[in-house]
Amino acid sequence: MSKTISTIVGVLFLFSSFAQDKYFMKTYGDMGFEDGHMVHQLSDTTFLIAGVSQDPSSGIKQPMLLKINQFGDSLWMKRINTSFDVDIHGFVLYNDTIAVCGTTEEDSSDHDIYVCQLTLQGVEIWSIRVGDTLDDVSNSIICIDREYYLTGSVDTGGTGLDLALIRLDYLGNVIEQNSFDYGMSEYGRWTESVEDTAVVITGYSMADDSSYSTALLTFLSLDGQQFWSKSFQNLDYAGADSVSFGYSVAHTKDSGFIMAGWSYADINDWNKYYEAFVIKTDELGIEEWRDNIWYSDPWAGTGGTNFHSVEEMYDGSFLLTGASKANFVCKQNEDPEFNGSGLMIVKYDEIGQMVFLREYSPEGGDGAFGTHSIELNDSTLMTVGYQGYDYETDGSVVVILTNTEGTLAGVESPFEKDNNLLVYPNPTTGSIVVAGNEMVNISLYDLYGREVSLKNFDSSESKTHIQLDNLPYGQYILRVTKADSTSIHAKIIVTK
């Protein structure tokens, strides 16, 4: 299965003062730049977000905590004081404490692992740095029986970095450090508990010249004994050699795993761009299904998509977030460039059929990037991320609270609207209405660029129905040609 996103005629909604009784989109931070990386629900009415904030006086990037209520009102935002730059990626809530982990950025060739434990009020209890004169990084943290497990990468003095699993006690003392070398440079991006008796890690193994990588899925005991490790190659839609990155993994109710990330390769002679992928495996890491989403506009250019997190929902479906049309997706210790990207929220059912795809973009052309989505106790969805044209100077935390369908209150269905064009309902289970001025031709294309529907009509007509119930589930590109020979394109999602 594969999906394609064509030029978005209009995004679902803009970040604005659009008020809602329950659902909202809000940005936070005005002190240089802030980003939100993960969110946890503290109670039915409050949420805690971890990320990074820049100290305006020193210019140092420091760990940041943001607490909001159910209406999206900021209760407080706090920085954790450090004398060095640190990029936060991991965040765990355990009993009445939280812990964040990340990587120091004092020296481009000598990063250290950073871990900080805090109270729920954001007061530091302890912090440590783990590392030596070589490169050590951390991207994810979990807590099992009052012990912390971090995943990332360490430089053991050999060739490149090795995948790492580091165990700390509740006071921050290192108990054990295990590293794994699969023949290239290995990077651990996300770790997940498996019934509190083992851990699963996703990441990637990359060639020294960065020309090729495979996504990794590694299953370990709590003391670092490897049960199995799987690599996943050629994750782009064309099946060609590609650079592939595993970014997030979740343990599923059927004892399997769901992994998400992104890859890039040259496809059909188009420019190199990024493709989001999701892979479902059984309990031994054997692939059951996969899907790709990529942004492609054969009429106007290229872009990219990525997945940054994946979670299993209460009903056994899967919730993912990332970005669409992102010109660059951050790799190890590098910052993203947005340039008009859209925060992307996607839901799949348990057999790999896409249920919905939602995109949100801010006003003014700034980009948005989704880093973490969770399902709340009432089945609503909260997504955090960051937005801004220049991540280093004007980024802000983004928080979106939607209903279970990924939309905001008061909107019956998502639509594409621009230049007097309206397409609804979208997604659809059988037919769509296309309304606009001076339309003379409507064509529908599948993801291979094949025309699957064509309708000509008089330019005086302002509305038409198109039946799609004979088409397979998936995404299609709608092309509307107007009387002045200009064309408008929109994506259409056909669901069951």
- Which of the four pLDDT bands, split at 50, 70 and 90, describes residue 18? very low
Q: Give the torsion sign (CA, 193, 161, 260, 24).
A: positive
Residues in the chain: 496
- Residue 375's DSSP bridge partners are 381
- Name the phi and psi angles at 460, rounded to 5: -75, -20
Q: What is the pLDDT of residues 421-465, one digit of tens each?
A: 677 777 787 788 888 777 888 888 876 667 888 887 766 677 788
Superfamily the domain 2-410 falls into? YVTN repeat-like/Quinoprotein amine dehydrogenase (2.130.10.10)
- Which of the four pLDDT bands, split at 50, 70 and 90, describes residue 234? low
Which residue is listed with tokens 């009432």? 378
When computed from its CA atoms, the radius of gyration of the chain, rounded to whole angstroms, is 23
Q: What is the pLDDT of residues 334-392, one digit of tens each?
A: 444 445 567 889 999 999 988 888 888 765 546 788 999 999 988 899 999 988 755 55
**Cβ count near 337 (within 10 Å):** 16
In 3D, which of 129, 85, 92, 89 has the Cα closest to residue 108?
A: 85
Q: What is the pLDDT of residue 460?
A: 67
Within 8 A by CB and 6+ apart from 192, the residues are 142, 199, 200, 201, 249, 250, 251
Q: What is the pLDDT of residue 92?
A: 97
Helix, strand, coil shares of the chain, percent, nearest 5, are 0, 60, 40
Q: What is the pLDDT of residue 166?
A: 95
pLDDT reading at 172 higher than 60: yes
Q: Spelled out in words, what is the top-level CATH class assigned to the domain 417-494? A: mainly beta
Q: What is the pLDDT of residues 307-326, one digit of tens each?
A: 999 999 999 999 999 987 65
Q: What is the pLDDT of residues 130-150, one digit of tens each?
A: 887 678 899 999 999 999 999
In 3D, which of 342, 339, 249, 363 has the Cα closest to residue 293?
A: 342
If you average pLDDT over every residue of the chain, what do you get? Answer: 80
Q: What is the pLDDT of residue 121?
A: 95
| Cα–Cα distance measured from residue 82 to residue 207, given in angstroms and rounded to the nearest whole number | 34
Q: What is the pLDDT of residue 49?
A: 97
Cα distances (Å, whole numbers) of residue 162 to 99, 103, 223, 234, 345 = 24, 16, 17, 22, 32
| Cα–Cα distance measured from residue 20 to residue 32, given in angstroms and rounded to the nearest whole number | 28
**How do the domains of the chain map onto residue ranges?**
2-410, 417-494
